[in-house]
């Protein structure tokens, strides 16, 4: 959190700029008739935006999650909390998550990490169905987000290195709870998404490369801890992963809802994501500064994002999100090269 606020931890290439929407000089719609509402995972949102999971488990997180939840409720967008491991396995600061339940957020995501659903050390307590139920109840969640963060783990000196068995464990949880699987800045490939779909996962959040880089975040933390090898790995793998727009294009044909995230920083980026066929766009790092300031800034940032989305809809002649999802676009730059591979 401190590192994300204090250092430049963004990916070096802005992949969303590779998605060029085509200007429509004659939109033939009125700006005030534009409808940004969508249905996502059975819930109605006023705009196709998800504030993806960031925080919880320490005292200051209550302020951030509270600001995000109040703004999400008032603007009508979805939100998730950060990993609930601290509250569920260690009983730490449950109120820094549960504050979210006080607000009428239309769609809420609980959050656990894949490394916590398999034993990392002999005798470890792993997150099981009862823990998931508790994590969901804590915030009155609609959906459980399971995050994949093995890049981050590789840059942490004490990172979790055991990934064997995660897929089947995700399948077990997905047979009992509505599960979305998300990455944390390195993207999802179609192959992985197909394996997850075959195990009853209901939706994906691509969280691709180009936004917050967790290799970068952990690079700085490793430096602070004097962990020379991990600091170097963080630098080497700073931009590792699948670009967010590419990941969206790979997953949309699977037919499950796709949240496009990783580097979404404007309402124009939201529009670009929707044009690629995403059901909504997800934003984390781009909301953090406002959320760490106060509620007014948080709400203003969300309102600006929605306004920019509407401007993009107007200038592409898209009256509804469904229209925008059919709008023509050009894929350029690095993202295009990935698609040609």
Contact residue for ligand FMN among 54, 144, 273, 281 (CB under 6 A): 54
By beta-carbon proximity to ligand FMN, the closer residue of 182 and 221 is 182
191 sits in which H/E element: helix 190-197
Give the nearer residue to ligand FMN in terms of CB position, either 38 or 292: 292
Stretch that binds ligand FMN, among 41-49, 117-125, 189-197, 279-287 (CB under 6 A): 279-287
Sign of CA dihedral 97, 101, 102, 105: positive
Which residues lie closer than 8 Å to 226 by C-beta, 6 or more apart? none
Pairing state between β 49-51 and 143-147: unpaired
| Shortest Å distance, C-beta 27 to ligand FMN | 29
Residue 111 interacts with ligand FMN (CB under 6 A)? Answer: yes
Shortest separation between residue 210's beta carbon and ligand FMN, angstroms: 7
Find the shortest distance in angstroms from Cβ 93 to ligand FMN. Answer: 14
- Shortest distance, CB of residue 61 to ligand FMN, whole angstroms? 10
Of residues 34 and 260, the one with the C-beta less far from ligand FMN = 260
Instruction: Give the Cα separation of 30 and 278 in Å (integer).
Output: 24
Among residues 15, 34, 38, 52, the one that binds ligand FMN under rule CB under 6 A: 52
Residue nearest to ligand FMN (CB): 211
Q: Of 90-98, 153-161, 260-268, 311-319, which segment contacts ligand FMN by CB under 6 A?
A: 260-268
Q: Per CB under 6 A, which of residues 170..229 are in contact with ligand FMN?
A: 182, 184-185, 207, 211-212
- Name which of residues 138 to 157 contact ligand FMN (CB under 6 A): 145, 147
Q: Considering beta carbons, is residue 57 or 76 the nearer one to ligand FMN?
A: 57
How many angstroms separate the CA atoms of 88 and 127, rounded? 8
DSSP per-residue codes, 138-175: HHT-SEEEEE--HHHHHHSTT-----TTHHHHHHHHHT
Smaller CB separation from ligand FMN, 257 or 285: 285
* DSSP structure string for 50-96: EE-----SSTTHHHHHHHHHHHHHHHT-EEE-S--HHHHHH---THH
Our finding on whether 51 is near ligand FMN (CB under 6 A) is: no
Q: How far apart are CA 253 and CA 273, in angstroms?
A: 14
Angle (CA) 24 261 277, round 5°? 45
267 is a contact residue toward ligand FMN (CB under 6 A): no
The least distance separating ligand FMN from the CB of residue 318, rounded to whole angstroms, comes to 23
Helices 228-236 and 214-224 cross at an angle (nearest 10°) of 160
Nearest residue to 256 via CA among 300, 299, 199: 199
State the nearest-atom distance from the C-beta of 319 to ligand FMN, in Å: 27
Which residues of the shown chain bind ligand FMN in the complex (CB under 6 A)? Answer: 1, 4, 52-55, 82-83, 111, 145, 147, 182, 184-185, 207, 211-212, 261-264, 283-286, 288
């Amino acid at each position: 959190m401190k590192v994300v606020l204090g250092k430049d931890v963004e990916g070096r290439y802005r992949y969303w700029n590779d998605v060029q929407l085509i200007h429509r000089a004659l939109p033939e719609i009125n700006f005030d008739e534009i409808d940004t509402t969508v249905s996502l995972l059975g819930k109605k949102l006023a705009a196709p935006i998800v504030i993806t999971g960031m925080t919880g488990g320490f005292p200051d997180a209550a302020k951030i999650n509270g600001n995000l939840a109040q703004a999400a409720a008032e603007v009508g967008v979805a939100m998730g909390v950060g990993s609930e491991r601290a509250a569920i396995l260690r009983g730490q600061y449950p109120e820094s998550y549960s504050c979210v339940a006080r607000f009428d957020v239309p769609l809420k995501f609980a959050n656990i990490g894949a490394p916590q659903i398999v034993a990392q050390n002999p005798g470890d307590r792993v997150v099981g169905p009862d823990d998931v139920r508790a994590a969901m109840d804590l915030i009155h969640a609609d959906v459980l987000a399971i995050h994949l963060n093995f890049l981050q783990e590789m840059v942490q000196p004490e990172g979790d290195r055991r990934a064997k068995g995660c897929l089947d464990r995700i399948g077990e949880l997905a047979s009992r709870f509505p599960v979305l699987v998300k990455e944390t800045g390195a993207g999802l490939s179609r192959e992985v998404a197909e394996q997850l779909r075959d195990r009853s996962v209901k939706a994906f959040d691509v969280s691709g490369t180009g936004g917050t880089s967790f290799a970068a975040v952990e690079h700085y933390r490793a430096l602070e801890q004097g962990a020379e090898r991990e600091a170097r790995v963080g630098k080497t793998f700073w931009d590792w992963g699948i670009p967010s727009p590419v990941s969206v294009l790979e997953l949309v044909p699977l037919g499950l809802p796709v949240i496009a995230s990783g580097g979404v920083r404007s309402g124009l980026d939201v529009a670009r994501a929707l044009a690629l066929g995403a059901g909504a766009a997800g934003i984390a790092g781009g909301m953090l500064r406002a959320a760490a300031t106060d509620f007014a800034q948080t709400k203003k940032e969300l309102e600006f994002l929605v306004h920019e989305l509407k401007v993009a809809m107007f200038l592409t002649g898209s009256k509804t999100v469904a229209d925008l999802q059919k709008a023509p676009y050009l894929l350029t730059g690095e993202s295009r090269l990935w698609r040609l591979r």
